[in-house]
Chain A
């Protein structure tokens, strides 16, 4: 069981900055995120785009902001559970919250800060009949353990970075064969990856099936058979071991919707006149995930909410201690 002062759900910019504000009050944090990397929307949707409204930065690239936040919180040594979704929450006999992830990892703390943004980033699944039956063995939306694909015949669908990157990776690493199916001839991925994939296609390392899309799936012993339709109305089958439909991730509110929190239009209602507390004592919601009258889904607003929220969390954890606000210029940063 991982024990800490504040469990932060969501390692987006707001979750990350919460570690800093909490650290100034000597509160320790542990972050949980469904994504394998920190940064939330900044990392997943627009890592290479400039942001112009972070105070003090006339312009900063989203991925650079995440790097700087990671650097800023380093002295406070936060814990991370990445690639796992916070699934259930319950109250232990001592009043602490216990949160279990999709993979069963347990976390315990007196305070929970939900910085879940627009929700859990979940794979976009193609609307194909019976697909779910194959999700256990043959169909994968995220590559967690590349080793299981050794010596396997793999089909990848999609035209974005993850589809191209994994096609290249498997072509270079031990797969028996790699086929890439894409609806058009244009790719959304970085030019370098596209050029490399086209070279590999020329060398026979990747078979490119363009202007085509998978429309059905069935079983053939341990393998699967994908029914493919092409734009010029040809139909054919491909037999393979694994299919990776990689059409990107889209945020969905997810498990937090069932935790007894007051939800309004896919966001958690909070008390913005005091401390961004939710209707459950000890659970706060900050950043894009919360709502109140006049809410703005902006990074700087989330940062402000984090600073206010940790003051209240401190009083909850140490009811008999008085905290006096000190400037960082006066105290410096004392890590732990």
Chain B
């Protein structure tokens, strides 16, 4: 199987995050592989391993679009077990919204050719829109199987489970397909020493917009269909009154709610 896993390089949520880049984009210092994309990578690795792994010709390609630093998300994916990396990078991509991002990623997937599955996270941990997987499926004309909490592939068919608010659905599609997975699907592995050493020998291909045949005017700030016109930092929440229970804290809680007119 040839599986492309989409991995995004995002600001680490353990630190304060800021929108102080050009056009209110995120500050990318202290960035990491988006936590939720580790579930996508794990799902891909499990499918490849069940089919004999890379020795049997199965490929798990980690594809990231982003500035120079995004190569770190790819390196981490290679350490965890991806077989090769692809870094789509071009100055003209800066400021891309979801529509422009999905346009560039769709072109990159087509460029890679004969892909059986594209697997993504359920959402990035910075933009958090969940728009990209659905837009990618629409652009590639492939079945969309999103928010999968289980995934099985048998020959050219896949079956997934998807939890909606009022029901739980069984979804079937033919390959190739675009799949996004939730954090319920598996328990991602950590890179081990062997994986870290092995990653050094794996290849990372760098692609520009010209390589994938995308006109720079269709992406980035100018090609995007949305623009951020303002961003203001909200004052952080501050701690209020903290009391220690002396046997009547439940009553004091109700007093507080009554004073706030919340009863």
A in complex with B: no
